[in-house]
Amino acid sequence: MSQPPRNSPASLRLVTRTEPQDASSQPSEDHELDWSILMARAQDGDSVAYRRLLTGIAPYLRSLAARRHREPNDQEDAVQDVLLCVHAIRHTYDPARPFGPWLTAIANRRIVDRLRRQGRRNRYETPLTAQHESVAADPARLPTDHRALEAALAVLPPGQRRAVHLLKLEELSLKDAEAASGISIASLKVTVHRALKTLRSLMSDRSQP
Amino acid sequence: MIATQDLIGSLAANLRPVRRLSPPLLRAAGWLGLAVIVLVLLSIVQGTRSDLLQRLREPGFAISIAAAALTGALAALAAFAVSVPGRSRLWMLLPLPALAVWLGSVGAQCLTHWVPLDTGSIGLAETARCFATLVLTSLPLSLAMLIMQRHVVVLRSVSTMLMGSLAVAAVTAAALPLFHAFDATLMILIWNFGTGALILAVGVFASWRLTS
């Protein structure tokens, strides 16, 4: 899991207990204090402290996600979603206040939102069956779909089009796409999500009679 | 799917120092300061109503404006407090007593001084000026609230937007009688409840659209 940080400042020895030994469902007071210190340092730009903090809170977030999601993939997605959210609004944490309630509020909010999104999606989507595969493989449909997709892609802003090309058409991993485009993984995730939302709406409009 | 450890590595590698959010009280004070500036500018440009001092001596009128302004101030404080993750939602109860006094005073004015709406006394120009005051007060305050609370978008906190909208609505409702004479009870009702309800509805709808 976490590696001992190289060149870590001496004062970080105060927080060595943050090594994630367990995935307890409640952060202990010691953990909270350590996390609070680490977040305060992260807010000042200490990336070593930040890595230790995120590694430390991940098992706790996983235990929270496991209460709502059964699939391990869903749990991991939820953990990553919360980590991205923590990253985006880390400036809202006040080191004078306990870290646990701050983190738990964000985690619960994002996990519940994710469940809602899944619920909405499940209402409109059905699992892929063999019958769907045979229809999708119909060569007569492919040119039209391809043209429609190209037309829809042309409408997207350049940044979103590039993200879709890299991640969905060339099927690069997020890491490779980050290297290829110079855009951060967090931004790529958001951009491709927005692009797919727009494409979905464009393609559904086209499929309307 | 990217491995969580890789994501953590990437987030840590791209870490930038951030400026911590100021305490809710300080942020609310900043927002209220902006509200005062907007009202002062409006009074310079539009001028207050001619009988303002005389009307302020009437307890009903003064209590109504003071309660609306207090509701705005407390709702702003509540909005900035509940926008911070982990803060108690009980903050949302803070503006309720002032809100009750404000709504009660408007209701009492209607019961004791019922003046029917005389359509001949209210011209199109006066209505347009009232609308301009409404927009010029609520728009900059709403935008300021939105910018100051932009971090809430990822949390989809409708409660924050509800409190923020209540703050804008109450401040606007407190401002309108300072600039325009509403002697007709129906106008008071329309402006107080209508303005409040409209701004609340727009605020909640906008927050719902922004966060979905």
pLDDT tens digits for range B50-98: 777 787 888 888 888 899 899 999 999 999 999 999 888 899 999 999 9
Tell me which chain A residues have a C-beta less than 8 angstroms from the C-beta of B1: 73, 76-77
Indicate whether A169 belongs to any domain.
yes
Do residues A48 and A112 both lie within one domain? yes
- Among candidate residues A68, A87, A122, the one where a domain is terminated: A122
Tell me which chain A residues have a C-beta less than 8 angstroms from the C-beta of B15: 42, 45-47, 50
Indicate whether A133 belongs to any domain.
no
CATH number, domain containing residue A161? 1.10.10.10
Indicate whether A94 belongs to any domain.
yes
Do residues A166 and A109 both lie within one domain? no
Do residues A149 and A115 both lie within one domain? no
CA–CA separation, B72 and B35 (whole Å): 10
DSSP string, A25-90: SS--HHHHHHHHHHHHHHHTT-HHHHHHHHHHHHHHHHHHHHHH--SHHHHHHHHHHHHHHHHHTG
CA–CA separation, A106 and A109 (whole Å): 5
Do residues A38 and A87 both lie within one domain? yes
pLDDT tens digits for range B14-64: 899 999 989 999 999 999 999 999 989 988 887 777 777 787 888 888 888
Q: Identify the band that residue A138 occupies on the pLDDT scale cut at 50, 70 and 90.
A: low
Nearest CA in chain A to B150: A89
Do residues A175 and A101 both lie within one domain? no
Indicate whether A129 belongs to any domain.
no
Interchain CB distance below 8 Å, A51 and B8: yes
- The answer to whether residue B210 scores a pLDDT higher than 80 is no
**B156 part of contact set with chain A, CB < 8 Å:** yes
User: Is-contact B71 B170, C-beta < 8 A?
Assistant: yes
| Residue B18, amino acid | V
Interchain CB distance below 8 Å, B7 and A76: no
Do residues A24 and A88 both lie within one domain? yes
pLDDT tens digits for range A21-74: 444 456 666 676 788 999 999 999 999 999 999 999 999 999 999 988 888 888
Do residues A110 and A147 both lie within one domain? no
Indicate whether A130 belongs to any domain.
no
Do residues A40 and A118 both lie within one domain? yes
Do residues A86 and A117 both lie within one domain? yes
Indicate whether A85 belongs to any domain.
yes
- In this structure, what DSSP letter does residue B19 have? P
Write out the residue range of the structural domain in which residue A78 sits.
11-122
Tokens of B104: 């009660």
| Residue A20 three-state SS | coil
User: Is-contact A82 A69, C-beta < 8 A?
Assistant: no
Do residues A86 and A150 both lie within one domain? no
- Among candidate residues A122, A155, A189, the one where a domain is terminated: A122
Whether ipTM exceeds 0.90:
no
Residue B47 Ramachandran class (φ > 0 left, ψ -120 to 50 alpha, else beta): left
- Among candidate residues A59, A90, A122, the one where a domain is terminated: A122
Interchain CB distance below 8 Å, A47 and B13: yes
- The residues, ordered by sequence, that sit 6+ positions from A188 with a Cβ below 8 Å of its Cβ are A163, A166, A167, A174, A177, A178, A181
Across the range B146-175, mean pLDDT stands at 81
CA–CA separation, A179 and A183 (whole Å): 8
Do residues A24 and A66 both lie within one domain? yes
Tell me which chain B residues have a C-beta less than 8 angstroms from the C-beta of A85: 154-155
Indicate whether A147 belongs to any domain.
yes
CATH number, domain containing residue A58? 1.10.1740.10
Do residues A98 and A17 both lie within one domain? yes
Cα Rg, chain A, nearest whole Å: 21
**What is the tally of structural domains in chain A?**
2
Indicate whether A6 belongs to any domain.
no
